[in-house]
Amino acid sequence: MVSDMDRRRLVAVAKVTLAVVAWGASFIATKVALREVSPITVVWLRFAIGVVVLGAVVAVRRQGRRVARRDLAEFALLGFLAITFHQWLQSNGLVTARATTTAWIVATIPVFMAILGWTVLKERLRPDQVLGIALATAGVLVVVSDGDLPAVLRGSFGVPGDALILASAVNWAVVSALSKRWLARHEAALMTFHLVAFGWLFSTAALLAGPGLGELGRLTASGWAGVVFLGVACSGLAYVFWYDALKALPASEMGAFLYLEPLVASGVAAVILGEPLTVAVIAGGTVILGGVWLVNRPVRSSGKGP
């Protein structure tokens, strides 16, 4: 007989797995939609749908409440960085970058978080973390160059989109540092709703200044499928599932699930987009995951005094 605690844990594991699978497949869905419309249109549609989904979750859970003006200013800043700017970088990067390469680069976010903590917060880096940063960097170079490391030395860093994806990983490290503090004061679903809402408003301004709504008629059934998946699964339910699971599982255990994201992306990209799983991608990806594990590896206290 399954206890209530075991049942809650099983539900949490299922939710975090679904969230990570959705995020892994998001790069492929974005590539599919980008075949038909511009990046800003994809971003705008994705978060228009996301606002509706998250708004419904907040209403059903009765978490809606009035937000202080100071909090709204913080939400607006984080909404711009986490939604508008971040998705602009990724969607424009995916115009030329492969979905597989993108997923492996994004997997290095914990490495940039460690570097940010060292440079800005003056946090100490252990020797194994320094080694992990070096390994992850080497893995990224192998992936983006498709194993041709001499090309990197000649100044060729993959395709132009790879640089934008790398910038998005750095940006998300900054977003994570900011949101960690604010999550302590706000309910996750309510905060996420406001971030997505502000991000969508900012992307609306960019859309109207650019292509406008005229591109919507160019979306075919496959394009709409990609956009709806991004909006409902990736920008709506995945965030809700992730934060729900975070209440039942340790943060360290949650982080381990993120290792699945690039693996899911590589598999789905191979099936749907026909992107090859080259030896360089597999080898570089393995090195990246090893480096990220070293950076995130928990160190148990010996119990001895200083």
Whether the Cβ atoms of residue 296 and residue 113 lie closer than 8 Å to each other: no
Q: Give the model's pLDDT for residue 184.
A: 66
Beta-carbon contacts of residue 73 (< 8 Å; ≥ 6 apart): none
pLDDT tens for 226-259 read 999 999 999 889 888 887 887 777 766 776 787 8
| Angstrom distance (rounded) from CA 167 to CA 162 | 9
The pair of structure tokens assigned to 242 is 């992730």
The band of 305, judged by pLDDT with boundaries at 50, 70 and 90, is very low
Residue 177, CA distances (Å) to 82, 117, 287, 293 in order: 11, 9, 25, 19
d(CA 182, CA 223): 35
- Integer Cα distance of 73 and 167 in angstroms: 24
For residue range 23-36, what is the model confidence (pLDDT) as tens digits? Answer: 999 999 999 999 99
Q: What is the DSSP letter of 220?
A: -
Longest CA–CA separation in the chain, Å: 67
* pLDDT tens, position by position, 189-219: 778 888 899 999 999 999 999 889 999 999 9
